[in-house]
Amino acid sequence: MSSNTDFLLALESVGVSFDGFKAVNDLNLYIDYGELRVIIGPNGAGKTTVLDLICGRTRVSEGSIKFKNQEITGCKEQEIVRRGIGRKFQTPTIYEDLTVFENLELSVPRGRNVAGALFWKRTDEVIERVREIAAMIFLREQLDWHAETLSHGQKQWLEIGMLLIQDPELLMLDEPVAGMSASERTKTAELLKQIIKNRSVIVIEHDMKFVESIAHRVTVLHQGKVLAEGDMQSVQNNAKVKEVYLGH
Amino acid sequence: MTAVRTDTRRLELIGFALVAVFILIFLPSVLDVFRLNLFGKYLTYAFVAVGLVLCWGHTGILSLGQGLFFGLGGYCMAAFLKLEASSVANTKIQSTPGIPDFMDWNQLTGLPFFWVPFKSLPYALIAVIAVPTVLAFILGAALFKRRVGGVYFAIITQALAAVMTILIVGQQGYTGGINGITDLRTLLGWDIRTDSAKFILYFVCCALLLGSMFVARFVLASKLGRILVATRDQEDRVRFSGYDVANYKIFVFCLASAMAAVGGAMFTLQVGFMSPSFVGIVPSIEMVIFCAVGGRHSIVGAVAGTLLVNWGKTMFSEAFPELWLFAMGGLFIAVVVAFPRGIAGLMTDQILPKLASWMGSGHAQPSPAPAPAE
């Protein structure tokens, strides 16, 4: 039995194996309200798998995942989303054939059933909300563009915007600055600082400079387990971490 | 929203108008009733093609079994017409008068229970839509909820079309077997075999087809239409935006099947019979080819493609009957290799921009020239 928890998100003794290979093994992870947590670790450490487990894309083999003290293992992906967990994928996952506006509009958390979508009205409120988010993700001028014409970095922002418009309590970002230029990275760091105000965020990231610039707490994963956890300073000075990861 | 988008919207409406003018005014004024009836038959396939634009072109669900739904709609209509044609007076030479002739030949002595309701026209008309839609719903719920998609879905639908053919042929006492349900005569006493009836039925078919096209357009222009496109391109993202993707797929698959069924019913009415040769794998794949040739993203294109390929088929097979299948195969290869977006894609990507540039900047608006088959 898992315990009651005051944390926003609590993973306890979570494990998953693929064909006998334990990608995540006896993992415990707690995310507080309003926290920005960065997960780092070498390739194959199970970082993306952890996000997959939380958002229901991969089913846990054992253990419990609680969101706001409610078990979410076994819930369908869309149910988990509706409870308030948003997830950004590693490569920008947007609707290339639609405009930026339409991409954001589809992400507005209303009219999600078939009838609601069929008789959806583009109200002023929706337009206002889309504009507001577009300004936040630096795409105010590009609302009418087809998403496929955006640059890689802009696509990453768009996907973040699509999550923001859902106003999730927990936002999970898988390598949000991958493939971005230096100036785009700086802007993204600002964006993250801005959006964390009302929610918790989990970020997976390789870029240590970027991690340093945003992180509250850092969790180091290695071979599906938590190797170390703490602020950036202590993690960087941790001998085990140096050995498996930073020392490379 | 965008300039481009409004332009395509306007183009689409122009296309709709061209289709309407072509089938409502042009064809009836140049064709005799025999040829017009032939085009009426082609138009019944266009219902299937419009449905495929929704579920294949926009949602990415390739169904190779649309003949199944076309056939079910057709059979429901045929059942009513057959019962009306099999009155006791008409069938008094049979050993059991009052039942369809094929039942009598197969030693059936009474009407099977599932045939009885088809004595009523309202029931039959409801069944035309409901039977295929319910089947599509069951199929969709079973497959899409389990996330069966892509080529697996195509193979399963194809297998089902084959199964249905075998079932119909095998149970000939109940279905009319390989010959199908033939010798249909009247609809509530109105003889559907006469030239005037064929003429009227042609226009009924046109009206229903235009209605289906507008329904399809309404769906595609709504947010639901954008969700379908989004699902085709990034299914995971749609799911992680809180949508139950399977429900959307079930909806669009049911809608496509209902359209195919209406086409099937109109086929029965205009051609005067229904047989398993319109249910199986070959007709199902042919219908996909109609849609592909016309352009699977375009409603107007699908209708145009259907008319063009069928007209070509009739012309070609009148001249060289044995070569038609090769021509059809060649056409499909040509579409896949040379113009994957079909005629509609050629029009919007190649021909219209060129026309616009030829006309020069003197004209502010590019005026789309009528396509030969629209």
pLDDT of residue B1: 43
Q: Are B251 and B133 contacting, i.e. CB atoms less than 8 angstroms apart?
A: no
Handedness of CA B78, B79, B83, B86 (dihedral sign): positive
pLDDT of residue A234: 86
According to the model, what pLDDT value does residue B361 have?
Answer: 52
Spatial separation of the C-alpha atoms in residues A81 and B314, rounded to whole Å? 54
Residue among B7, B223, B228, B251 with most chain A CBs within 10 A, to mutate: B223
Rounded alpha-carbon distances, angstroms, from residue A87 to A48, A218, B145, B236, B238: 11, 19, 22, 10, 11
CB contact, 8 Å: A182 with chain B?
A: no
Residue A54's Cβ-count burial label (10 Å; 0-12, 13-18, 19+) is buried
In this complex, the residue of B2, B224, B236 whose CB is nearest that of residue A99 is B2
- Quote the pLDDT of residue B368: 43
Report ipTM for this prediction. 0.88
All residues at 6 or more sequence positions from A79 whose CB lies less than 8 Å from its CB, including other chains: A56, A72
As a whole number of angstroms, the distance between CA B324 and CA B335 comes to 16
Q: A245: pLDDT confidence band, cut at 50, 70 and 90?
A: low
Q: Which residue has the tokens 């995942």?
A: A65
Is residue A51 within 8 Å of residue A38, measured between CB atoms? Answer: no
Residue A248, pLDDT > 80, answer: no
Interchain contact, A78 vs B226, CB within 8 Å = no
Question: What pLDDT is recorded for position B4?
Answer: 53
Interface contact B248-A82, CB threshold 8 A:
no
- Among A198, A147, A134, A132, which residue's Cα sits nearest to residue A168? A198
CB A40 within 8 A of CB A219: yes
| pLDDT above 50 for A223 | yes
Q: How far apart, in whole angstroms, are the C-alpha atoms of residue A191 and residue A78?
A: 26
What residues in A contact B248, CB-CB < 8 Å?
Answer: 114, 117
Q: Does A3 fall in a domain?
A: no
Confidence at residue B33, expressed as pLDDT on a 0 to 100 scale: 92
Q: Residue A98 is nearest to which of B219, B229, B243, comparing CB atoms?
A: B229
For residue B222, which residues of chain A lie inside 8 Å, CB to CB?
A: 117-120
Query: How far is B37 from B269, CA to CA, in rounded Å?
Result: 11
> Quick check: A166 and B242 CB within 8 A?
yes
Share the mean pLDDT of chain A: 88
Closest residue in chain B to residue A96, using alpha carbons only: B233
| Averages of pLDDT over each 10 residues, chain B, 374 residues | 60 91 94 94 97 95 95 96 91 89 91 93 96 96 92 95 95 92 91 93 97 96 94 92 94 97 96 93 92 92 94 86 84 85 86 80 45 40
Average pLDDT over residues A140-153: 92
Q: Do A120 and B239 touch (CB under 8 A)?
A: no
Task: Please indicate, yes or no, if residue A1 is contained in any of the structural domains.
Answer: no
Model confidence at A178, in pLDDT bands (50, 70, 90)? confident
Q: Is B247 on the interface with A (CB under 8 A)?
A: yes
Alpha helix ranges (H) inside chain A? 47-55, 77-83, 100-107, 114-118, 124-136, 152-164, 182-195, 208-214, 232-237, 239-241
Q: Which of residues 9-48 of B touch A (CB under 8 A)?
A: none
> Which chain A residue's Cα is nearest to B219?
A118
Of B80, B59, B73, the closest CA to residue B124 belongs to B80
**Statement: residue A42 has pLDDT above 70:** yes
Strand order in the sheet with A85-88: A85-88, A170-174, A200-204, A36-40, A217-222, A225-230
CATH of residue A147's domain is 3.40.50.300
Confidence at residue B360, expressed as pLDDT on a 0 to 100 scale: 65
pLDDT at B328: 82
Tell me the C-alpha to C-alpha distance, in Å, between residue B300 and each of A78, B63, B164, B214, B305.
35, 20, 30, 10, 8
Contact B64, B161 (CB under 8 A): yes
User: Which of B226, B243, B247 lies at the smallest CB-CB distance from A98?
Assistant: B226
The burial of A82, by beta-carbon neighbours within 10 Å (0-12 exposed, 13-18 middle, 19 or more buried), is given as: middle
User: What residue type is B225 in one-letter code?
Assistant: G
Q: Nearest CA of chain B to the CA of A104: how many Å?
A: 10
pLDDT of A207 = 79
* pTM, full prediction: 0.90
Q: Which of B234, B242, B251 sits opposite A109 (nearest CB)?
A: B242
pLDDT in tens, A157-171: 999 999 999 999 999
Instruction: State residue A239's pLDDT score.
Output: 84
Helix or strand run (H / E) with residue B43: helix B33-52
Distance in angstroms (rounded) separating the CA atoms of residues B157 and B144 = 13
Output the pLDDT for position B170.
94
Number of domains in chain A: 1
> Is there a contact between A118 and B252 (Cβ–Cβ < 8 Å)?
no
pLDDT of residue B111: 92
Task: Give residue A80's domain range.
Answer: 9-246
- Phi, psi values for residue A211, rounded to 5°: -60, -45
Residue A167's nearest CA partner among B233, B242, B223 is: B242
**Hey, where are the domains in chain B?**
3-277
CB pairs under 8 A between A and B: 84
Does pLDDT of A4 surpass 80? no
- Distance from C-alpha of A68 to C-alpha of A4, rounded to nearest angstrom: 10
Residue type, B25: I
Tokens of B366: 């590019």
